[in-house]
Amino acid sequence: MQSLQNYALGQWVNGSEQGDILLDASTGDPIASVSSAGLDFGSMLAYGRTTGGKILRKMTFQQRGLMLKSLAMYLMERKEKYYQLSYQTGATKIDSWIDIEGGIGNVFANASLRRRFPDEAFYVDGEYAPLSKMGSFIGHHIMVPKEGVAIHINAFNFPIWGMLEKIAVNLLAGVPCVVKPATLTSYLTEAMVKDIVASKILPEGSVQLICGSARGILDHIESQDVVTFTGSASTGRMLKSHPRIISEAVPFNMEADSLNCSVLGLDAKPGTEEFDIFIKEIKKEITVKCGQKCTAVRRIMVPELYLDEVQSALVKALSQTTIGDPRVEGVKMGALAGRVQLEEVKEKISQLARNATMLYGGFDQFEILGGDKEKGAFMAPVLMLQMNPFKHTEAHEIEAFGPVSTIMPYTTTDEAIELAKMGKGSLCSSVITNDDKIAREYTLGAASHHGRILVLNRSCAKESTGHGSPMPMLVHGGPGRAGGGEEMGGMRGVKHYMQRCAIQGSPTTISEITGVFQQGAKYKDPGVHLFRKHFEDLEVGETVITHKRTVTDSDIVNFANVSWDHFYAHTDATSLDGTIFEQRVAHGYFVLSAAAGLFVDPAKGPVLLNYGLEECRFTKPVYAGMTIGVRLTVKEKVDQEKKNEEDIAKGIVKFMVDVYDETGETVAIATILTMVKKRNQA
């Protein structure tokens, strides 16, 4: 029997004492022993801060993102080996796919986020704030990586996804981590971390692993660290109140198991597509991962009129579930992660059953394919009915972390909302309805108590990821019982590992600090037209001031004819009474087009193409007889990687287009996005 290893201070090490014995969830056979005895947690955290952290903080978002992309590709090539280990946790092929390829997909998604960040090691957050009358003093916000370590304390149900969905975010932010998977299924996490370390894709010190107990690690945390926890609400509350969390003001992100609900809309009567979608979704949520998901549906809310049909349909669907060893062909639901979990679920079911009716399931009356029914952690799906959910509140308070769910009736959408809120905060809810008014009413009524709400109907069911699937670009977390935390969420998640700092100074100084040109900053002389310079040679703040053009009546008429935009303000001087316009006004898009004619250098050069426009505003009317000019400024630069050997080496340059009139006042302002060739094509 193998001994699992911990990865600490750049080395793989065994615990110094005999550890826990981990068992196959289906057969009860020993898999490995594991211990963390002898590890110096304080040294591990210090090592992450001083070794991995220093390297990551110097890397740009683009470099970190490409690092994640390489890692995801490397792990995907090795995915099959993880499946064989995953089956030992009781997970079926589908369960394992969610954990393994879902986790790797999360890394890919976060790698793609690099395109939304600058080519810097830090992030410029939001818009500048003018702080003075004449514009010589402004404020802004930057976000820099925290100089600590992310400590991830994960649950047993997703040994890979739970790790990857967290580390992808902290690594993109430039922060190293220590991963503490639940010991019960840590052999799967260990296998992947061994591959991560062997790949040498991540800087040393970026990731460390504790497979055994991490009791005492929070005694060594500091103010720059971040702690995340996934698991039971009771354990999370205990950790959140740790003295070091409080005294060091350490951010603590908690994602706790919650009493999630799914609501069948009043319109989704038997025979509709939505009714069938609902039954299919509920069965999936009860049986996938043997119900061991923090997002699983625990409360099923059904219109009282349809109660009999829902019960009948769900019992029929659940009775078709084949239970057994995931390695046996035909098995649709595996085992709980271990016998301890099985006993805990049985105890919770007994509590739920005090005032509820058991519609389907039980502890002994089921058959299995393969495995060992006595040594394994098998159970049948359990479906209960609570006819008076406002009086008997057990289902709103007790969670059986397994294939267990309770049906409860409601009469109005307001009642469904009230029942949903009785869970006191959930990670997610779903409402299955084809009536958008019901969808709006339920969503706005229940959103305060949920981290995510899925509205499911015939229009999106085929492509929907389902009730229980958090997505990397959306927030995962929830209020109240669910822990009050947020994970993932695209750019929002990355910012959890960064410190926001307000900066103040002159526009020129703030431009130099941020690498983004601020209005009012001093212009730099580029020496030649900006379109003559390669990506590497352009500097933020370099500006071309164009020659000028006087707008005529013919310009306005001709543009109306070419564009077919005959809005009265451009074409009918007799209709201007009561408007803000003094005479026929030039089209805003004409002003922008005329600006392009002024600032574009037409000859072939390093500029490959203009592919977008951002933040376009028309700030002052332009009339015939007015003269306009353009200040074209390099606002920001973002590097791009080559897709292949044949690809042209290039970067993205954002140019500020400031169109002004004869008084010097801005009449239009926009940011154009251009691809600019690099001088060095290697």
Number of H helices, E strands in the chain: 20, 30
pLDDT of 672: 95
148 belongs to a structural domain: yes
255 is catalytic: yes
Out of 255, 281, 285, 542, pick the active-site residue.
Answer: 255
89 belongs to a structural domain: yes
CA 595 to chain centroid, in Å, comes to: 39
Q: Are residues 371 and 246 in the same domain?
A: no
13 belongs to a structural domain: no
Q: Are residues 196 and 294 in the same domain?
A: no
CA dist 257 and 232 (Å) reads 5
CA dist 461 and 473 (Å) reads 20
Q: Are residues 252 and 143 in the same domain?
A: yes
Split into its structural domains, the chain has a count of: 3
134 belongs to a structural domain: yes
pLDDT of 682: 62
What number of other Cβ atoms are within 10 A of residue 566's Cβ? 10
Beta pairing partners, 631: 545, 658
Q: Are residues 276 and 370 in the same domain?
A: yes
Q: Is the pTM of this model over 0.85?
A: yes
What number of other Cβ atoms are within 10 A of residue 121's Cβ? 17
Q: Are residues 247 and 380 in the same domain?
A: no
Q: Are residues 389 and 458 in the same domain?
A: yes
Q: Are residues 249 and 271 in the same domain?
A: no
Tell me the CA end-to-end span of the chain in Å, nearest whole number.
Answer: 51
Beta pairing partners, 413: none
645 is catalytic: no
pLDDT of 416: 97
Segments of the chain with pLDDT less than 70: 1, 16, 682
Q: What is the CATH number of the domain that holds 421?
A: 3.40.309.10
Out of 190, 294, 399, 636, pick the active-site residue.
Answer: 294
Containing domain of residue 230, as a range? 41-256+492-499
19 belongs to a structural domain: no
12 belongs to a structural domain: no
Beta pairing partners, 292: none
Q: Are residues 276 and 425 in the same domain?
A: yes
26 belongs to a structural domain: no
Q: Are residues 165 and 271 in the same domain?
A: no
pLDDT of 15: 77
Q: How far is CA 489 from CA 163, 168, 493, 499, 530, in A?
A: 16, 12, 5, 17, 37
pLDDT of 174: 97
- Strand-strand pairing, 297-303 and 404-410: parallel
CA 618 to chain centroid, in Å, comes to: 35
Q: How far is CA 597 from CA 90, 548, 553, 592, in A?
A: 66, 10, 18, 9
Q: Are residues 527 and 603 in the same domain?
A: yes
Q: What is the CATH number of the domain that holds 104?
A: 3.40.605.10
pLDDT tens digit string along 88-101?
999 999 999 999 99
Residue ending a domain, among 468, 483, 509, is 468
pLDDT of 2: 83
Q: What is the CATH number of the domain that holds 530?
A: 3.10.129.10
pLDDT of 468: 84
Q: Are residues 304 and 363 in the same domain?
A: yes
Q: Are residues 248 and 278 in the same domain?
A: no
Which residue stretches of 454-523 are H helix?
491-495, 507-514
Q: What's the chain's average pLDDT?
A: 92
173 belongs to a structural domain: yes
Contact call for residues 433 and 267 (beta carbons, < 8 A): yes
